Structure 1
Amino acid sequence: MHGAPKMTNDHEWFKALPGIHEKILIGLYNVGSLRNLASGDVLFREGEGDRTIHLLLKGSLRLLKRSGSTTRQVAVCQPGDVLCESRFFASSGTLTAAVATQAAMVLSFPETLLDSLEPSLSAFLTKKLIDTFQRRLQEHMARQESLSAHCDFMTRFARRSIVERTQDYTQSEMIVGMLKKVPQLPMYASRLAHMLLDAKVSAKDVAALAKNDPSLVSAVLKRVNSAYYNWQKKISDFQHAVILLGFNQVYQLVIADGLRRTMPNTPPFRALHNHSVVISHMAYEIAQLVNRQQASMVSTVALLHDIGKSVLLLMKKQNPKLSVLIDLLDSAKLGSLLLQEWNIPENVCRAVEMQDYPIFSPPDQIPANARLLVAILDVSHQCAELIQGASRENLWKPYNEEWLRVLNLRVKDVESLTRDHLLPSLEKKGGALPEHVRQFLKGIHEKDQALDDTAHDAPQPFP
């Protein structure tokens, strides 16, 4: 405790509080503890459980808060401000630290003292708390408005840049010529793809197509008996294959096999193909939670989503001297144009073209007929990256929560969707999954056991 000297305007900290009655200042001085801080000194740190009311008399303080692995400034306190972490900041979470930005002077009081002070002192500190809160709230609202305007501008800028950069693709002889050189999907795969893109198609319809198309049956049996699945006994009957794998597995097998036949059998193409198959299985399981009737259609779209990257690989292979320029082309737009060449429905082409929009755009900026497809593709990629060990910070994008809400699922985040729904559903399928998908899922178990987590990243060869 200090004595009770008569306060005069010679005191520097007294000047920081003009208009305050001298009696109140003497009372605060007598019950408080005066502390001088040099620039960079810390008033309190995270984990110290600071339960003190601080009245800033001189200088300024930066208030910091931790978010994941990042520490950011949330406010700057000026002379006359009062801060109390437990009361004032309870709604915004625990502060990491309060740090002096210049020489500062603070008068501090135990929080428990606030209720026992004489009414004039308690009222003064309470009013200062409220005033500081209101100022911070106004600053926060102004900052939110500014950030919202910035986000809107950047979204429009990104969309406009993509449109302007890709609108002349159909006028490019090189691009148009390359797209026409890409082999068409085999007839059986093309017919099946169009059937699956119709949400009303039934398993019975697909079975009828298979019976009337020997090439489809042959493709399924050849594939299901390959090292892709590693069955111990040979499967010689189409219906047996369907029973073992399930109709959706057969759908994906046929479309994936058809896509594989359109591209060279080289490691880069195999890696792209394997990635698309993984995303397709994940998209199917997510669609089962969202809309079962569209699950097969969604898995087919996921198989097709990276076809534009394959086109880029083809262009670079045939024009190696132009590789640097080819890398500047938009693979999503190329994929959309190729699917149009294959007469794939318009909403699928739009979804493939806009698959990267969730990085910079909220869902309401995407056409309604493609929005759900884009959302499932985006969330499927996040789930795949989580399985590969990506952290929440590395997955963060400004509109992640909005895109997850498009799915209308009762999950709070992608982590719980992956852990509680996606992985259990895929693991139940066991041997019905392609070998490289099983290896992909096995990778998370190896990492959980602190084993080598790189082996499953290698692309699996086609049989």
Structure 2
Amino acid sequence: MTENTAKYLVQEGQELFSLPDIYYQLREMTGNPRFSINDIALVITKDPALSARLLKIVNSAFYGCQARIDTISRAITVIGNENLRSLILATSIVNTFNRIPHDLVDMTAFWLRSVNCAVIARLLAKKCAVLHCERLLLAGLLHDIGSLVLYTQIPDKSLQVLLAADHNRGLVAGLEQEIIGFTHAQVGAELIESWGLPDSLSEAIRYYLTPEKALVHKLDAHLLYLATRLADGKGQQRAVPEILAEISDETLSIVRLSESQIAELMNRADNEFEQVFESLGPGKRFH
């Protein structure tokens, strides 16, 4: 293994980018029928911040529950184990990366874009009737996570990339390949794999820039690609038809959603975004 591989970079920063023990404990419990909902709820309630964030997001428009949910056990019953794991992971990750130096990245802007993308990816997946669409929420939230590893581990080269790109996101991956030897998408996929997360997630992130290269989880990769383009277009205040005109025919044929469906979905994303952003955020630094 050489020092210029994405895998090596992730291994070097393993301690810095490790997930909290509670995530692994809950992952094991939610996958084991020996543990009841009350057992799982008991572990979560020992972490007041995590409990508060879970209840906040489950009670938001994002889930659209009719009656207020005020206990963790009820929240688990409503959203299910699979979605619970995704939400716990999402909140854990935001906290894991809240100590990144601000020299290269405005972390509030980073999470604003990532959460925007997460909300859009989940809504796209839901509209496409994807089972356990929370995994696309995670994919959206994590698609750019490799950039944070690059900023932390090789700040000088990362700065070179950012200066050369001059705020044009479309140039970043090519410049990373040229200057660093691999992209933030590859680093993100390696990090996801090091955490032992599903292949669907790592493959979607590895190929979100080039979804046509995805081998097994093609729909996820194309949905994530579309979500990132829509999120960026929204940030530039571009209209949906203008954004979709630049999306490949392959993506549009795989996703199979009309322009009007996507426009409606983007309006809904605006309504849901703020609540998800506030729910996932690590305290005041996220406001």
Pick the TM interval, shorter chain. Answer: 0.5 to 0.7
Gaps of 5+ in 2: 61-68, 163-175
1:420 aligns with 2:270: no
Give the greater-gyration-radius structure (CA): 1
| Partner SS state of residue 116, structure 2 | helix
1:324 aligns with 2:160: yes
Alpha-carbon shift at residue 310 of structure 1 (Å): 1.1
Cα displacement string for residues 154-207 of structure 1 (whole angstroms, at most 9, x for unaligned residues): xxxxxxxxxxxx9951685xx2553324331123334667899x9xx9xxx995
- AA aligned opposite 1:355: Y
Aligned residues: 249
Classify the secondary structure of the residue corresponding to 1:183. coil
SS in 2 for 1:213: helix
Compared with structure 1, are the counterparts of its residues 420 and 291 closer, same or farther at alpha carbon in structure 2 (3 Å cutoff)?
Answer: same
Q: How does 1:141-220 map to 2 (within 5 A)?
A: 169=5, 175-190=9-24, 207=37, 210-214=40-44, 218-220=48-50
Matched, 1:406 2:244: no
TM-score norm. by structure 1 comes to: 0.44
Task: Letter of the 1:373 partner, please give it.
Answer: D
- Match in the other structure for 2:150: 312
SS in 1 for 2:286: coil
Measured on the aligned residues, the alpha-carbon RMSD in Å equals 4.4
Q: 1:433 Cα shift?
A: 3.5
Alignment of 1:381-396 (within 5 A): 381-388=228-235, 389-391=237-239, 392-393=241-242, 396=245
Q: TM-score, with normalisation over the residues of structure 2?
A: 0.66
Query: Residue 240 of structure 1: CA displacement?
Result: 6.5
Of 374, 379, 383, the residue aligned with 2:221 is 374
Between the aligned partners of 1:430 and 1:324, the Cα distance in structure 2 is 32
C-alpha separation between the residues in 2 aligned to 1:462 and 1:216? Answer: 23
- After superposition, where does 1:46-445 map in structure 2 within 5 Å? 169=5, 175-190=9-24, 207=37, 210-214=40-44, 218-223=48-53, 237-239=71-73, 253-263=87-97, 264=99, 266=102, 268-316=106-154, 319-320=155-156, 323-324=159-160, 328-329=179-180, 330-358=183-211, 363=212, 365-367=213-215, 369-388=216-235, 389-391=237-239, 392-393=241-242, 396-397=245-246, 400-409=248-257, 411=258, 413=259, 416-424=260-268, 427=271, 432-435=275-278
Amino acid at match of 2:249: E
Cα deviation, residue 271, structure 1: 2.6
Label 1:168 to 1:259 Cα distance change in 2 as closer, same or farther (>3 A). Answer: same
Deviation at 1:351, TM superposition (A): 1.6
Q: Pick closer, same or farther for the CA change 1:251–1:432 going to 2, 3 Å.
A: farther
After superposition, the Cα gap between the structure-2 partners of 1:215 and 1:314, relative to the gap in structure 1 and judged at 3 Å, is farther
**Is the contact made by 1:272 and 1:310 (CA closer than 8 Å) also made in structure 2?**
no
What amino acid is the match of 1:218?
P
Listed as ranges, the gaps of 5+ residues in structure 1 are 1-165, 438-459
How far is the alpha carbon of 1:423 from its aligned partner? 2.2
Please tell me whether the aligned partners of residues 41 and 73 of structure 2 are also in contact (alpha carbons under 8 angstroms): no
Identity of matched residues, %:
18
Change (3 A) 1:353 1:423: same
The 3 A distance-change label for structure 1 pair 195 and 425 is farther
Q: Is the 8 A contact 1:256 1:277 kept in 2?
A: no
Listed one character per residue, the Cα deviations across residues 420-441 of structure 1 (whole Å, up to 9, x for unaligned) are: 23423763x588543499xxxx
Q: Greater strand share, 1 or 2?
A: 1
Identify the residue that residue 112 of structure 1 maps to in structure 2. Answer: none
Alpha-carbon deviation of 1:395? 5.9
Higher relative contact order, chain-length normalized (CA < 8 Å, sep 6+): 2
